[in-house]
Amino acid sequence: MANPVSIRLLVAEDVPQVSQHVRNLLSVQSHVQLLEVLSDGSKVLEAVNQLRPDVVMVDLLLQGKVKGPQLIERIRDSGLDIPVVVLTVPQHPLARDPNRGIEAVLTLPFSGFELVNTLTHVLLDRQARTSGACRVISVFSPKGGVGKTTIAFNLAVSLAQMGVSTALIDGSLQYGDLRSLLKVPSDVPSILDLPTDKVQESDLRDVLWRDPAGIDILLAPPRVEMAEMITPRDIEKTISLLRRLYEAIIIDTPAALSETTLALLDGSDTVLSVVTYDSTTIHNTIALAEVFSSIGYPPDKIRYLINRSDSSGGIGKDELMRALGRRLDFEVVSDGRLVVSANNEGMPFVVSAPDAAISRDVRRVAEALLGRTAGASVRH
């Protein structure tokens, strides 16, 4: 990062060799201040209250009266809102889980760069989330063909029309749905052109595609096999940086629930789940709702949008809501002729036909998700 943040770190570690390893790594840099290393987990909360660290690092295998997992839970439940980085070993893998208070995971052995970079991104991401300066919204559906990419594109443009600085991420890394929709040349840079070791603002500006509709787009790779080169950690770093540059980020996600898709959803404040009056889509949506609940997503993170709401196909709205177990948050009507024409031209229909019912519906979704109205700022 061009201007490193200052980080106050507290470590809970009872293995002397690991403690010394961390001390050695931090001794050669200046912007992480190691406040204290505690070997007794029962003393950590008291130290947090006294020392006010920015980040706490906890060994998952911490022993004693308060073991590692218990300490992580206590910090999460304390109300102190301190991000936790968990240290582990390959034999005990652990996934990042913000809902459990685990903002990042470091697996031994790690380098000084990995340590400092992880701490920096965790703190910046937390600051961005708590400041409310940016909203990250993933547009998701567990089934293709529901209009997800079209909604994501037009939703992003609607936000830009409201005067909101907006970035759109093509999260369909294998097939590049947005690249195809907008007819972007194959030689235009993609997320793959970002350096994997250290992403900076200048790097991001160089690879973003500026759409005529007023949004910046981070495109997917131009070829299917290139998607394998992008890791969940790359996605986390990219979202964290974009949060610092934009007021809103819209992510068009793939239907497959892979590790990279989960990284996109984990990094989002809201998951806008698109459903249609189709039995397969409804079945898959219900199944995914159970998955989201099991991994700890709070109910208010998931918002349901019924697309083509005036084309029920014999399934009633009440029946759909009973199946979902909750009310629908948004409705968008169908307009096949307008949508197909606009998509064939790579043009957002909210621009080509701003007074159409479907355009008004999408603008209402944009206004609700950001908690503001367009007013006079909308450019027709």
pLDDT at 380: 27
Q: Print the domain residue range for 168.
A: 135-377
pLDDT at 376: 33
Q: Give the Cα separation of 146 and 273 in Å (integer).
A: 10
Q: Which residues contact 125 (CB under 8 A, 6 or more apart)?
A: 103, 236, 239, 240, 243
Compute the CA torsion angle 161, 365, 219, 127 (nearest 10 deg). 90
Tens-place pLDDT, residues 4-47:
457 889 999 999 999 999 999 988 877 788 998 999 999 999 88
In a domain, 2, yes or no: no
How far from chain centre, in Å, is Cα 288?
Answer: 17
Tens-place pLDDT, residues 141-176:
988 889 999 999 999 999 999 999 999 999 888 877
Nearest Cα to Cα of residue 208 among 165, 168, 154, 248: 168
Which helix (H) or strand (E) segment is 70 a member of?
helix 68-77
3-state secondary structure of 173: coil
Q: Are residues 206 and 142 in the same domain?
A: yes
Q: Are residues 200 and 155 in the same domain?
A: yes
Of 115, 131, 147, the residue that ends a domain is 131
Q: What is the CATH number of the domain that holds 53?
A: 3.40.50.2300
In a domain, 39, yes or no: yes
Q: Domain count for the chain, please give it.
A: 2
What average pLDDT does range 71-86 have in this prediction? 85
Residue 257 burial (10 A CB sphere; 0-12, 13-18, 19+): middle
Tens-place pLDDT, residues 89-99:
999 888 888 77
